[in-house]
Amino acid sequence: MIRKVFLRAFSAGLIGVCCISPIRAAELRGLQLSASPSAAQLILVLTDGASRRLFTLDHPDRVVIDLPDTRLSRAVRVPAASGIVTQVRLGHQPHGTLRVVVELKGALPAHSSWDTGEGGRRLVLTLGEPIVAAAPASSSIAAVSAAPVTASAAAASKVVRAAHAPGEGDRDVIIAVDAGHGGEDPGAIGHGGTREKDVTLAIARALAARINAEPGMHAVLTRERDEFLKLDDRVSRAHAAHADMFVSVHADSIADRSIGGASVYVLSVHGASSEAARWLAERENAADLVAGARPDDQGALEPVLIDAAQSEIIGISATAAERVVSALEGVGEVRRAQVQRAGFVVLKSRDIPSMLIETAYISNPAEERRLRSPAQQARLAEAIAGGMRSYFLQNPPDGTRFKQERRTLASVGGSATAAAVQ
């Protein structure tokens, strides 16, 4: 309630200001990139403007420039990737802010300075050591933006990456959703003929849709169709997506058809938490063999080795998994109320928190029927997404919208001035 009142008053103030004093928007008219394998320089030509906000983010490494009250000319052409720069992107932010994003192959110190030249004001962004560019060949808008920054101008600019900058971005949290089995590996098969690979893909799709409907979250499916993926390939796809979390969805079988309920697993440091967990991990780790992996192609089946960094990731995984277990309790029976641990190869990433969810046992006839139901699939997706959202709200990664909102709430809650306004 306090936050709503504060935001309502703040928004009303903004509206009043806009009505009283209209703002003249600047225009971005040109971009030119000069880059080498270890440095880069981007020059932005604007008709006006002296305000900008610059910060750096990681996963992937990138530099972001926000230009308030700035519109984009239709004549602007985005430079192609070059040297250490993998991509330049432009986008519109709320309240008329134009955002320029420079994605990099690695982190670089960022400097910026204003310069005045033909065509308007020029914002010179220098990444790494200054690059000396050739003088422009013509005075057209596209060419005038190529004017180089001098070494003295670069020296006069200041490093703008503050200690808090990594937390100031608004990227989405990325969750890799992995549908277990697939292709020639059907996984477990229920008494009624239901195949695990079909159930997991349906739940994974529902989960991805639910995640994507949540502001600040984005899902990436490791497989979007019925295809076989090696265990290492599933992890590799999560890395390629720069995932903040990896979630593998399963619906296994067990000899006792009366057993049911969901379970959530993380990678084990000191062996499996139970004999059942050990057996399940061994079965899942042999998935590559089902598809006929060659003997020299079975590195994924070797024992999982744990180092200090991975132990920390496992701890993070367990904290997130606890939230998912709690959320699943609201959907149906949970076989294990505590997070389980075993040596699942698919959870072995050293830098992505990972969990494996047994949504139900397909060997249980009642659960097999429920797993085929789109309504039950949606309920499971809702619970899993809710558990992950709960985790990220409390543990937001740097550079994400969750982190930004958490800082805003903390600022509002701890400000005596804000309290007086309310």
pLDDT digit string, tens, across residues 243-254:
999 999 999 988
What is the biggest distance separating any 2 CA atoms in the chain, rounded to whole angstroms? 79
Domain boundaries, the chain: 23-164, 173-397
Q: Return the pLDDT at 197.
A: 96
Is residue 338 predicted with pLDDT exceeding 60? yes
Is residue 363 predicted with pLDDT exceeding 90? yes
Q: Return the pLDDT at 168.
A: 56
Question: Which pLDDT band holds residue 166 (cuts at 50, 70, 90)?
Answer: very low
Cross-strand partners of 41 = 34, 126
Taking all residues of the chain, what is their mean pLDDT, rounded to a whole number?
77
Is residue 150 predicted with pLDDT exceeding 90? no
Q: Higher pLDDT residue, 42 or 121?
A: 42
What is the side-by-side strand order in the sheet with 97-104? Answer: 53-57, 62-67, 97-104, 85-93
Q: Which two tokens stand for residue 401?
A: 């919208």
CA terminus-to-terminus distance, the chain: 9
Is residue 404 predicted with pLDDT exceeding 60? yes
Residue-wise DSSP of 25-53 = PEEEEEEEEEE-SS-EEEEEEESS----E
Look at the pTM and tell me if it is higher than 0.75: no
**Range with the lowest mean pLDDT among 127-131, 233-237, 367-371?**
127-131
Which residue is listed with tokens 């040109």?
30
What is the side-by-side strand order in the sheet with 70-72? Answer: 70-72, 26-35, 40-46, 120-127, 110-117, 158-159
pLDDT digit string, tens, across residues 383-401:
999 999 999 998 898 889 8
Q: Return the pLDDT at 21.
A: 40
| Averaged pLDDT for residues 268-273 | 66
Q: How many Å apart are CA 56 and CA 65, to the nearest integer? A: 9
pLDDT digit string, tens, across residues 207-223:
999 999 988 999 999 99
**Eight-state DSSP code of residue 138:** S
Q: Return the pLDDT at 417.
A: 35
| Averaged pLDDT for residues 353-366 | 94
189: left (phi over 0), alpha (psi -120 to 50) or beta: beta
CATH superfamily of 173-397: Zn-dependent exopeptidases (3.40.630.40)
Q: Could you tell me which CATH number the domain at 23-164 has?
A: 2.60.40.3500
Q: Higher pLDDT residue, 227 or 130?
A: 227
Is residue 407 predicted with pLDDT exceeding 60? yes
Question: Which pLDDT band holds residue 49 (cuts at 50, 70, 90)?
Answer: low
- % pLDDT > 70, the chain: 71
